[in-house]
Amino acid sequence: MATMAGPSRLIGAPIKRREDPRLVQGLSHYVDDIKLVNTLHCTFLRSDYAHADIKSIDTEAAENLSGVVKVITGSDIAGKVGSIPCAAEIEGLKVPDHPALAVGRVRFVGEPIAAVVATDPYVARDALDLIEVEYDELPAVVDLDAAIESDSTVIYDEFDDNIAFTMPLDAGDVDAAFAEADHVVSQRFVNQRLIPNSIEPRGVLAEYLPGEGTLTVWSSTQVPHHLKTILSLLLDLPEQLVRVIAPEVGGGFGSKLNVYPEEAVVAYLATQLRKPVKWIEKRSEGFTTTIHGRDQVDYVDMAVKNDGTITALRAKLLANMGAYHQLLTPIIPVLTYLMMPGAYKIPNIKLELIGVFTNKMATDAYRGAGRPEATHIIERMVDLAAQKLGMDAKEIRFKNFPQPDEFPLEMATGVTYDSGNYQMSFNKALDTVDYASLRARQAELRGQGRYMGIGIATYAEICGMGPSVGVAGGGWESSTVRIERTGKVTVLTGVSPHGQGQETSFAQIVADEYGISIDDIVIIHGDTGRQPQGIGTFGSRATAVGGAALIIATQQVKEKMAQIAAHMLEANADDLVFEDGNIFVQGSPDSAVTFADVAATAHVAVNLPPEVEPGLEATHFFEPSNFTYPFGAHISIVEVDPETGEIDLQRYVAVDDCGNIINPLLVDGQVHGGIAQGLGQAMYEGAVYDENGQLLTGSFMDYAIPKATQVPRFETEHTTTPSPVNPLGVKGVGEAGTIASSPCLVNAVVDALSPFGITDIDMPMTPNRVWQAIQDAQ
C-alpha cells in the first residue's frame, strides 16, 4: 500500500454502538416484525415419542377447519424437498437421510411430522390438535454409554450399530510415556447437554413471486449465504433467484448456524401456495428442536512426572450426535479432539473419538462448540494431577506452558498454534487477584472450618474459523467496499452479525483507513441480494476473517482513489495522506482535495488519469493461512457452604488475549456474555431427558439460564499478542469466556472441597449435587 493512513483515531477506541438507537427504541426488524400482505401462518405437528413407527396420520379434520389452507406430511413432500444436509466430511461418517418432515418413523421428541398453513396463526395452532397420528412405540436409545453396547436398540435399520463415526489419533509414544510415568491420573467427565436459548426464537418468512421465479426468505440465521445455496438445492430452484435475508437477529450462539427443516418446509410452501408463509418458533419448540450443545462422556488418563511435567494424554471421547446430523453435528467434537492439549505442550496423545446416535435432538455448535469440552477436560486433569502431586495449581501450569518464542507451535493433535504468551496473561491474572495472599486467606479460613476455593483455567482455543481446508462449507470471507458518488462509503460484508456489533467495529476500521467520519460509512450485512457471497458469523471469525477481507478491499479502493487524487493534485500517489475528509500531499494540508470531490471525479469520469476506469469499488475474498488461537487465564474465588451445598461466587477475574482489539467496549461485552454462559453450564443448566427420551427440561421453569441475580460482576483485563494470520492481528473473542469459565468454576469448587477428599464434581454444580458430594465423601 503506497498511501499513508491518517492517525489512527477509532481502532482501539470504545466507540458506542451505531446499532443501538434503533434497538433501544424497539424500531428494528426481527423476522416476526416483518409484515407482508396476505401472509399465511405455518405451524408444525411434532412427534410426542422419541422413537416410534408412524402407523397413520389423519389430517382430514384439520384440513376442514375454517381458515386452514393446507396441511402437508412427509409423504407429500418426499422427492420435492431434499434431505436436510450435513456439511461434515469425516472418513467413514454415517449420514442418515434427514427428511424435513418425518416419513414412516420418528427418532426424537419434537421431530416435525406435519405442517399446517392457515390464514391466522391461532387457527394454525388449533388445527394441530385435529391431526390424529397413530404410533407404534419403539425402545428409545438415550444413554450414551449404553448406546454403543452390542445389545442396544439400533436407531437406523441401514446401519449395524449406533456409532456414527470413530476418529483415532496416536501421536508420539503414549504407551511408553504411561509406562515411564511417576503418576497416572484418570477421570470420567460428563459434559452435560445444553440448550442454547437465544432470546429471539427462530423464525422464517418466505415469499415466492411466480412470474419472476424469485424466492426471498427472511430467516433468523447466522449463515444466510449457506442457507441460500442449500435452499436452492433442496427445492431445486436456481440459486441466483434465491435471496436470503437475515434481518435483525436476536442472538444465536451457534444455534442459528444451521439449516433447519422448518426453513425448507416454509420456503417450499411459499413456492406452492404463492403467498408469503411465516413460521415463528414457540419457546417450547426451541427447547426440543433447535440444536443442543455439548453432551459428551469422556474417559481420560494423564501421565505425569514428579516434577509436574505432563508426558501423555489418553482419552476416549463419546460424543452424542442426537438422532440426525444437522449442518455441523459431527464436526463439533472434532474440535474437542484437536484442542485436547489446551495450553500445554504434551508430546504424546492417544485419542479415540466416537460419535454416537441417540433418540435425542441433534447436537451442534453452541458457543465454544467442542472447545469448552476440551478445556474442561484438560483444565480439570491438570488440577487433578497437581492435587495428586501436592503441587500448586499455578506451578503445574507454568511447568507445562510453551515458551513465547516457540510459536508458531505444532501440537501433537496436528494443529499449529499461531502465537501466544501464556505466561504473560497468567501472570497478569495472578497479580490481579494477589494469588499468594489468596492462598494464605484460604488456609486461614480452612482453620475456621470455612471452604474457600480458588479456581484457575488457563486456556487456549481455536477460532477465527478459516482456512477453508478446516471449515466445512468454506472458511474464507468476502467484503465489498464501494465509495458512492457523494463520497459516502458502503461496506458489504459476508459475515452476519447478530449482536456482535460489526456495524460499529467494521466502520471504525474503514473510517481510520480513509480518514473520514464513521457517520459517512454504512455496513450492510445479512442479505445475499446485496452481498452475494459470504460464509457468516460463527466460531469467533467475523473480525479475524471478515474484518481482514474488509481492510484489504478498503485498501484496494484507496489505492485507486489515491491515483485519481494524485492526478487532480498533480502529485505522486505515494505521497498522499487521507485525513479528516481530505486527501493531500504529506506536509501540505492546505492544498487538499476532499474525499467527496475525489469520489465525484471517479464517477463523473471526465478527469481521470489515463488507464484508470470509472467508479470506486472493490471486492475481496480473504482466505486466512491458519486458524487463530486466543488464550488467557481466568481465576474465580468461591466459598461453599457445606451445610447447604450453596456456592457463593465472590470474584471472577478474566484475562483474555484475543490479539489486537478494535473496540474494547464490544470485547468486554463478549467476554461478559461468554462467561455468563459458561457459568450457566457450571452452575445451573442441563438438558435432562428421561428413559423414554422425553425432554424433562423443556421450559424456562425447568431449564435455568442465569438471571441477573445469579451472576457476579466480572473483572476483565487483556494482554495483546497479535495474530500473524490476518492483517488486523485480531484473534476473535466471542467464545473465550464460555470456554474458560466452566472449568474455572468447577476447579474453584473442587479446590474448596478438597479437604473432604473431593477430586471432581459434575456440572451443573447445583446445591443438591454439591451437598451430596460432601455427604458421599464423609
DSSP states of 460-514: E--BS---GGGSTT---EEEEEEE-TTS-EEEEES---SSS-HHHHHHHHHHHHH
CB 34 within 8 A of CB 203: no
Query: Residues with Cβ < 8 Å from 733, sequence gap 6 or more?
Result: 540, 630, 656, 658, 667, 670, 671, 674
Q: Which of 672, 724, 754, 767 binds other proteins (CB under 8 A)?
A: 672
Identified binder of other proteins from the candidate list 37, 199, 469, 606, rule CB under 8 A: 199
Q: How far is the CB of 675 from other proteins (least distance, A)?
A: 6
Integer Cα distance of 345 and 380 in angstroms: 16
Q: Which is nearer to other proteins, 500 or 555 (CB)?
A: 500
Task: Report whether 420 contacts 460 (CB < 8 A).
Answer: yes
CA angle 427, 433, 436 (to 5 degrees): 80
707 near other proteins, rule: CB under 8 A? yes
The C-alpha cell 476500521 sits at 509
Nearest distance in Å: CB 629, other proteins: 24
Interaction between residue 461 and other proteins (CB under 8 A):
no
**Closer by beta carbon to other proteins, 223 or else 773:** 223
Amino acid, single-letter form, for residue 647:
I
Helices (DSSP H) in 34-161: which residue ranges? 60-64, 74-77, 121-128, 144-147
Judged by CB under 8 A, the stretch of 173-181, 248-256, 522-530, 551-559 that binds other proteins is 248-256
Which of 136, 283, 406, 648: binder of other proteins (CB under 8 A)? 283
State which of residues 192, 198, 271, 290 lies at the interface with other proteins (CB under 8 A). Answer: 198
Site for other proteins in 15-54 (CB under 8 A): 16-17, 19-21, 23-30, 32-33, 35
Give, in order, the Cα–Cα distances in Å from 322 to each of 91, 292, 329, 401, 434. 19, 9, 9, 36, 45
Nearer to other proteins (CB atom), residue 37 or residue 199: 199
Q: Does 527 bind other proteins (CB under 8 A)?
A: no
Contact status: 129 vs other proteins (CB under 8 A): no
Pick 615 or 669: Cβ nearer other proteins: 669
CB-wise, 300 or 666, nearer to other proteins?
A: 666
d(CA 115, CA 204): 14
Q: How far is the CB of 717 from other proteins (least distance, A)?
A: 15
DSSP 341-385: TTTS---EEEEEEEEEE-SSPPB---TTTTHHHHHHHHHHHHHHH
Q: Is the peptide bond before 642 cis (omega within 30 degrees of 0)?
A: no
197 counts as binding other proteins under rule CB under 8 A: yes
Q: Is 518 in the site for other proteins (CB under 8 A)?
A: no
Please identify, among the stretches 271-279, 498-506, 583-591, 624-632, the one whose residues bind other proteins according to the rule CB under 8 A.
Answer: 498-506
673: contact with other proteins by CB under 8 A: yes
Label the pairing between strands 242-245 and 214-219. Answer: parallel
Find out whether the peptide bond into 755 is cis, omega within 30 degrees of 0.
no
Measured in whole angstroms, the distance separating CA 186 from the mean position of its chain's CA atoms is 30
The nearer residue to other proteins, 37 or 701, going by C-beta atoms, is 701
- Name which position in 666, 744, 752, 773 contacts other proteins (CB under 8 A): 666
Nearer to other proteins, 29 or 274 (CB): 29
Instruction: Report residue 258 as a C-alpha cell.
Output: 444451521
> Which residue among 51, 225, 498, 567 contacts other proteins (CB under 8 A)?
498
Specify the residue, 336 or 738, whose C-beta has the smaller distance to other proteins. 738
Dihedrals φ, ψ of 426, to 5°?
-70, -45
**Residue 600, Cβ density class (10 Å: 0-12 exposed, 13-18 middle, ≥19 buried):** middle
Residue 699 makes contact with other proteins by CB under 8 A: yes
Q: Does 651 bind other proteins (CB under 8 A)?
A: no
The yes or no reply on residue 248 touching other proteins (CB under 8 A) is: yes
Considering only 246, 249, 633, 635, the residue that binds other proteins (CB under 8 A) is 249
Residue 330 engages other proteins in binding (rule: CB under 8 A): no
| Closest CB to other proteins among residues 455, 642 | 455
Binding mask 73-112 for other proteins (x = CB under 8 A): ----------------------------------------
Closest CA to 370 of 539, 252, 495, 226: 539
Which residue, among 427, 182, 144, 487, has the nearest Cα to 308 in the 3D structure? 182
Binding flag, residue 505, other proteins (CB under 8 A): no
Residues binding other proteins: number (CB under 8 A): 57
Give whichever of 294 and 325 is closer to other proteins, judged by the CB atom. 294
- Measured CA to CA in angstroms, residue 554 lies from 521, 560, 620, 668 at distances of 12, 10, 9, 27
- Select 70 or 278, whichever has its Cβ closest to other proteins: 278
DSSP character string of 143-212 = -HHHHTSTTSPPS-TTSSSSEEEEEEEEES-HHHHHHT-SEEEEEEEEEEEE----SSPPEEEEEEETTT
Taking CB under 8 A as the binding criterion, the range among 229-237, 586-594, 622-630, 701-709 that sits at the site for other proteins is 701-709
Letters for 713-752 (x = contact with other proteins by CB under 8 A, - = none) are xx----------------------x---------------
Does a cis peptide bond (omega within 30 degrees of 0) precede residue 722? Answer: no
Is position 686 an interface residue for other proteins (rule: CB under 8 A)? no
In angstroms, what is the minimal distance from the CB of 293 to other proteins?
A: 13
Shortest Å, Cβ 352 to other proteins: 34
Of 101 and 687, CB closest to other proteins:
687
Per 3-state DSSP, what percentage of the chain is helix, strand, and coil (rounded to 5)?
30, 25, 45
Question: Of these, 55, 188, 274, 282, which contacts other proteins (CB under 8 A)?
Answer: 282
253 touching other proteins, by CB under 8 A = yes
Q: Which of 172, 467, 669, 722 binds other proteins (CB under 8 A)?
A: 669
d(CA 640, CA 626): 43
C-alpha cell at 200: 429471539
Binding site for other proteins (CB under 8 A): 16-17, 19-21, 23-30, 32-33, 35, 122, 197-201, 248-251, 253, 280, 282-284, 498-501, 665-666, 668-669, 672-677, 699-701, 705-709, 711, 713-714, 737
